Amino acid sequence: MTAQTRADLPGAQRVVVKVGSSSIGGEGAHRIDTIVDALAAASARGTEIVLVSSGAIATALPLLDLAGRPNDLATQQAAAAVGQNVLMWRYQTALDRHGLLAGQVLLTAGDLENPTHRSNARRAMERLLGLRILPIVNENDTVATHEIRFGDNDRLAALVAQLIGADGLVLLSDISCLYTRPPGEPGARAITHVEFGDDLSGYEFGTVVVNSVGTGGAATKVSAARLAAASGVGVLVTSADLVAEALGGEEIGTWFAPNPDAAPTLTGPVGTVSPADKLVR
């Protein structure tokens, strides 16, 4: 059943969790253990978890002696190839403590626009979940181009949540919740709840941030949260350090209530077209 409030997340059947490069790259690599511990606890409660994780390029930077995110596409692709391998190794090392396995799923924007590729991706993730394996999804940066990309993994996470009929989506950030303007500015107020259809045009979420490790920012999370909420998926935006509290249903972060009139997404055998499929084609 779709999570209508934060408190419903612990009992949700299926939840997508997204973490960004800035949370787990460089000195933040220790958070992988924190995140995996929280995902394992949720899995033990009976919740099926899909993790959407950025961080491939960020993970590769120190290994390739790069001072920052490369600007040219070929080096980005090479860094992603190296970093994705190491990133998965770090996740699996953390999962070993819980006796869990990870399964890598790399997608491009074209995959979710092609009906056959969509069905194949959904079938693979459904089977991984059925085998009690944690799907770890990332954009396939080694083949993606500047012209055909998701733009950021917040959007990818929202589309994955639609694809698999998730009951909830947790977008992990560097701050505990969203604010009406950048939190360092005077007058910034925390946003704790966004009803479906609320007008957010008066708030200043800024533009997409491109930093030394990745892309993203508050604006991309708002956009992704509204996309998922429109298809009937409740969304929580909070800090990566609070992932256990988020999945535990505590009153933290910014909650985007789901569209009460959204048609239910089918998560049965692949081959049928779900409302979510129709939404993003």
Return binding residues for substrate.
54, 141, 153
Kindly state the tokens that stand for 3.
């999570």
List residues forming the annotated binding site for ATP.
18, 173-174
Strand partners, 136: 51, 104
List residues forming the annotated binding site.
18, 54, 141, 153, 173-174
